Amino acid sequence: MIKNYFPLKLALGEQFCNREKERILLKDNITQMRPTVLVSPRRYGKSSLMHKVVSELNMPFASIDLFLAHDGAAVAKRITQGVAEVVSQIIPVSEKFLESVQKFFRNFKVTLSVGSFNIEATYHASAIDSTDQIFTSLQALSRLAKEKQKQVVFFIDEFQDIANANNSKAIQGAIRHVAQESSNVVFVFSGSNRGLLLELFDNKSLPLYMMCDKLMLQRMSSESYWPFIQKAATERWGDKIARPVFERIITYTELHPFYVNFLCSELWKADIAPDIDAVTNAWEYCFEIEERRLIAEIEKLTGNQREVLKAVAKQPVLEPTAHQFLTNVGLAYSSVHQAMKVLFEKDMLYKVKNEDNAILNSQIGQIRVLDPLLAYALRKYMN
């Protein structure tokens, strides 16, 4: 069995690289009980960061996911499951303590099964609405945590899907209420649709407006990947890889955490350490695996958006309004402007925030295609 150095899912334990500053920020927020929303484009490592930080803090922790929770009842069910998960970490799970837990959860039925408490709405409670169930279960958790003198973390991922519930605004109001008054439960929110997620926290007419600190995750740095990848190389092949090989990995993946793992997980399957050609071949193989998805993404765009994306893939741009760029794209300023706006909103373009000399031709302020494999595909199709 080859050790899994580069997972395609959560990066846990030793699989987790760096994020020093973000870890400190998130830890500070959690210990100061400040609700936080973790924001980034897809697959930058929000969930991994959250799990890492909580494991380091060693606090009772509920992690729930509202993915496709299509109505209030589904949201309530996941939240009460999360509540039960933390309760099982605060109080020893045994018959002896069942009653003391039940005391806090009056409208719920508390039962025991394989190592945890289960908290379910009783027939009576399911007659009352899901907002009430959410509010009372979170409030009960808060009281219990207070009595046990514990601080607990409640992580809600794919939080933007809360908007699917018909009583979404009321549920958000209930969460706000608990988040504001509880001194023992701290909330962290995240989600993979950045636009919809931020809407919930930036819209003045919604309950969670300005309630959270925002932590924006950027890409990684080559400085942090260098020792990390070398350690994995030494463990795998008994030696480091050469600097140009490393730089080729970074240039293809552009420090996008998912793609670094995607490419490296291919490379680390081989019995011998990669040279530059091996990196190129593996990246081409990654492209072949993903080609259908990439084509589907391109097909969803309008003609103008496609032209702009292609031009940026070919040549990342500092000044998209410059004459040269407009000539390359073959479109008027207003069309380019409009197309770029949409491409930024869709997280298909991004602006470089930190200079990193391991990436060829990268510069602060430059606009680039966010998905490095999509950029590669676009360049390929142009040839």
Ligand X SMILES: Nc1ncnc2c1ncn2[C@@H]1O[C@H](COP(=O)(O)OP(=O)(O)OP(=O)(O)O)[C@@H](O)[C@H]1O
- Which residue's beta carbon is nearest to the bound Mg ion? 47
φ, ψ at 352 (rounded to 5°): -65, 125
- In sequence order, the 6+-apart residues with CB closer than 8 A to the CB of 148 are 90, 91
Q: Return the number of the residue (30 or 282) whose C-beta is nearest Mg ion.
A: 30
Determine if 45 is a binding residue for ligand X (CB under 6 A).
yes
Of 11-40, binders to ligand X (CB under 6 A) are: 11, 15-19, 40
Is 264 exposed, middle or buried, given 0-12, 13-18 or 19+ CB atoms closer than 10 A?
Answer: buried
Q: How many residues contact ligand X, by CB under 6 A?
A: 21
CA distance linking residue 145 with residue 138, whole number of Å: 10
Q: Return the number of the residue (40 or 335) whose C-beta is nearest ligand X.
A: 40
Of 18-77, binders to Mg ion (CB under 5 A) are: 47
CA distance linking residue 119 with residue 88, whole number of Å: 10
When binding is defined by CB under 6 A, the residue of 23, 27, 34, 42 that contacts ligand X is 42
Query: Is the Cβ–Cβ distance between 348 and 309 less than 8 Å?
Result: yes
Q: Is the dihedral of CA 121, 122, 128, 132 positive or negative?
A: negative
Q: Return the number of the residue (21 or 341) whose C-beta is nearest ligand X.
A: 21
The listed partner (ligand X, Mg ion, none) that binds 251, CB under 5 to 8 Å by sort, is: none
Q: Return the number of the residue (107 or 265) whose C-beta is nearest ligand X.
A: 265
What would the x/- binding string for ligand X be over residues 105 to 144, using CB under 6 A? ----------------------------------------
Determine if 258 is a binding residue for ligand X (CB under 6 A).
yes
The three-state secondary structure class of 331 is: coil
Determine if 222 is a binding residue for ligand X (CB under 6 A).
no
The listed partner (Mg ion, ligand X, none) that binds 295, CB under 5 to 8 Å by sort, is: none
When binding is defined by CB under 6 A, the residue of 2, 3, 8, 295 that contacts ligand X is 8
The listed partner (ligand X, Mg ion, none) that binds 17, CB under 5 to 8 Å by sort, is: ligand X
Angle at 195 between CA 302 and CA 255, to 5 degrees: 85
Angle at 318 between CA 316 and CA 320, to 5 degrees: 90
CA distance linking residue 97 with residue 83, whole number of Å: 16
Q: How many residues contact Mg ion, by CB under 5 A?
A: 1
**Count of CB atoms within 10 A of residue 164's CB?**
15
Determine if 362 is a binding residue for Mg ion (CB under 5 A).
no
Of 228-257, binders to ligand X (CB under 6 A) are: 257
One-letter amino acid identity for 222? S
Q: Which two tokens stand for residue 36?
A: 């936080």
Shortest Å, Cβ 25 to Mg ion: 18
Query: Is the Cβ–Cβ distance between 189 and 159 less than 8 Å?
Result: yes
Q: What is the contact surface with ligand X in residues (CB under 6 A)?
A: 7-8, 10-11, 15-19, 40, 42-48, 192, 257-258, 261
Q: What is the contact surface with Mg ion in residues (CB under 5 A)?
A: 47
